[in-house]
């Protein structure tokens, strides 16, 4: 690690973490004189008992709730516009996102849209659109229900174009939640597949952040502890969940997202095209690709892999041992080792490699990745 300029490090979000934390929500709203939240979630969560309990708890405290849940699995621009219409029609005073990464992304994009009414993709960070995020935004609260993306502590939202399915990133420090209520009880009944896939996403965030090339020892420390927590908790959370394993996964997923302000890397660039082209779940796409991406990164970064191996308490402190650990972990949580098992075919590889090379994540990878490197890695993983 070399320090050669002035860096900015931010860690601003207030997090109320622990079993029962969500019960503090009505009192928090009352203290902040908020009486009419727009709750943004997805259609599945809207039907779950814990969600209905949150809504009735608010209503019992004379808080006028409006729920918007008309969103896609991989959210699109029209979802955001519809949510903003509900805000306009119902006289709301704050926004509460409740859900996994998809619902929280839509909630955050609606937060942006309320006082920024030009075309949503004018604010796309990849074309420098963050400079147009100049107005105030509504009071924003997040409540995660998966332990994966860590989007609850993030300041970006990934929203796709309805027609082209191209992913855009809306980003601004203004889009940080004012407070997160992170309650592991809400994740208790996550099905094993979602637990495994989202948990592997969290592991990928922590590992890629630790390896990412910008000097950021604060994030490095957080990332290694996140890896240690996931080592202990992902298998039990998936196969024999209890409150301790769910708690560890929930905090580790937030640590991953805090750490990846440092940057991500090759694995996320391998994963993103699978979601845009084949609608693969984001966590599953990372899970299948992470052993191959990490194998690519070992040479030249043996020291960093030694530290990851030590954190994982592996017998051999090498990059190869880390890669073997990742294959083994995927087996333990029922994630396949090969891309062909999740619907990828030989004919997809060229377009996948083009999209991966164009992706925004790999410029922070510890070493450069070419379009042919991506093609070779997909081929190996097929
Ligand atoms: N903004 C960011 O920084 C960022 C980073 C990575 C990914 N993402 C986005 O996040 C999304 C993926 O998020 P995710 O992995 O959390 O998945 P998700 O939000 O798509 O949720 C996965 C599934 O789990 C269900 N679910 C959620 N909570 C549940 C619960 N407690 N019990 C039962 N079922 C539950 C959902 O209804 C959904 O069907 C993608 O759209 C991706 O683009 C955003
Ligand atoms: Fe991710």
Query: What SS3 state is found at 50?
Result: helix
- The pLDDT score that the predictor gives to residue 45 is 98
- Within 8 A by CB and 6+ apart from 284, the residues are 197, 200, 335, 342
Distance CA 140, CA 177 (A): 5
pLDDT in tens, the chain (382 residues): 777 788 777 777 999 999 999 999 999 999 999 999 999 999 999 999 999 999 999 999 999 999 999 999 889 999 999 999 999 999 999 999 999 999 999 999 999 999 999 999 999 998 999 999 999 999 999 999 999 999 999 999 999 999 987 789 999 999 999 999 999 999 999 999 999 999 999 999 999 999 999 899 999 999 999 999 999 999 999 999 999 999 999 999 999 999 999 999 999 999 999 998 898 999 999 999 999 999 999 999 999 999 999 999 999 999 999 999 999 999 999 999 999 999 999 999 999 999 999 998 999 999 999 999 999 999 999 9
Three-state SS annotation for 110-156 = HHHHHCCCCCHHHHEHHHCHHHHCCCCCCEEEEEECCCCCCHHHCCE
Query: Measured between alpha carbons, how far is 87 from 164 in angstroms, rounded to an integer?
Result: 27
Q: What is the pLDDT of residue 165?
A: 77
pTM, two decimals, is: 0.96
The per-residue pLDDT for 3 is 77
Ligand 1 mutation target, pool 40, 99, 108, 149, most atoms within 8 A of CB: 149
> Which string of DSSP letters, residue by residue, matches 249-308?
HHHHHHHHHHHGGG---HHHHHHHHHHHHH---HHHHHHHHHHHHHHHHHTT-HHHHHHH
Ligand nearest to the CA of 270: 2
Rounded to an integer, what is the distance from CA 44 to the centroid of its chain?
18
For residue 268, report the distance from its CA to the centre of ligand 2, in Å: 6
Helices (H) and strands (E) in the chain, counts: 13, 8
Residues composing the chain: 382
How far apart are the CA of 100 and the centre of ligand 1, in A? 3
Rounded CA-CA distance 188/185 in Å is 5
Sign for the CA dihedral angle at 287, 293, 297, 302 comes to positive
Determine how many CB atoms are found less than 10 A away from the CB of residue 168: 21
Pairing state between β 167-171 and 156-160: antiparallel
Q: Which burial class, exposed, middle or buried, applies to 135 when counting CB atoms under 10 A from its CB (0-12, 13-18, 19+)?
A: exposed
Question: Which among 195, 183, 175 is positioned nearest to 51, based on CA atoms?
Answer: 183
pLDDT of amino acid 234: 98
In whole angstroms, give the CA distance from residue 132 to residue 294. Answer: 37
Task: Give the per-residue pLDDT at 4.
Answer: 79
Task: Tell me which residue has its CA closest to atom 24 in ligand 1.
Answer: 194
CA of 271 to the centre of ligand 2 (A): 9
pLDDT at 331: 98
Query: What atom of ligand 1 comes closest to residue 187's alpha carbon?
Result: 31
The number of beta carbons lying within 10 Å of the beta carbon of residue 372 is: 10
Q: Which atom of ligand 1 is nearest to the CA of 275?
A: 43
């Amino acid at each position: 690690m070399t320090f050669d300029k002035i860096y900015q490090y931010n860690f601003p979000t207030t997090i109320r973490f622990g079993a029962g934390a969500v019960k503090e929500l009505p009192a928090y709203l009352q203290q902040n004189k908020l009486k009419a939240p727009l709750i943004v979630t997805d259609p599945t969560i809207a039907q779950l008992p814990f969600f209905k309990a949150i809504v009735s708890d608010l209503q019992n405290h004379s808080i006028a709730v409006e729920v918007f849940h008309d969103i896609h699995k991989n959210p699109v621009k029209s979802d955001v516009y519809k949510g903003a219409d509900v805000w306009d029609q119902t006289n709301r005073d704050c926004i509460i996102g409740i859900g996994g990464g998809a619902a929280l992304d839509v909630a955050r994009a609606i937060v942006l849209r309320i006082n920024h009414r030009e075309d949503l993709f004018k604010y796309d960070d990849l074309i420098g659109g963050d400079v147009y995020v100049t107005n105030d935004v509504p009071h924003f609260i997040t409540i995660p229900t998966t332990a994966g993306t860590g989007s609850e502590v993030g300041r970006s939202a990934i929203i796709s174009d309805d027609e082209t399915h191209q992913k855009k990133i809306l980003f601004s420090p203004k889009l940080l939640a004012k407070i997160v209520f992170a309650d592991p009880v809400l994740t208790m009944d996550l099905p094993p597949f979602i637990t495994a896939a989202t948990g592997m996403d969290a592991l990928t965030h922590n590992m890629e952040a630790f390896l990412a090339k910008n000097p950021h020892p604060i994030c490095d420390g957080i990332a290694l502890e996140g890896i240690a927590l996931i080592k202990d908790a992902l298998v039990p959370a998936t196969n024999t969940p209890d409150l301790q394993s769910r708690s560890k996964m929930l905090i580790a997923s937030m640590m991953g997202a805090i750490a990846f302000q440092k940057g991500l890397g090759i694995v996320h660039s391998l994963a993103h095209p699978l979601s845009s082209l084949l609608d693969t779940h984001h966590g599953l796409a990372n899970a299948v690709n992470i052993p191959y991406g990490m194998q690519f990164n070992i040479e030249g970064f043996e020291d960093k892999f030694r530290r990851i191996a030590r954190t994982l308490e592996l017998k051999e402190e090498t990059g190869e041992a880390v890669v073997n650990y990742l294959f083994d972990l995927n087996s333990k949580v029922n994630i396949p080792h090969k891309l062909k098992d999740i619907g990828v075919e030989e004919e997809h590889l060229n377009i996948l490699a083009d999209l991966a090379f164009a992706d925004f994540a790999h410029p922070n990878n510890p070493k450069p990745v070419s379009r042919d490197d991506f093609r070779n890695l997909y081929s190996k993983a097929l």
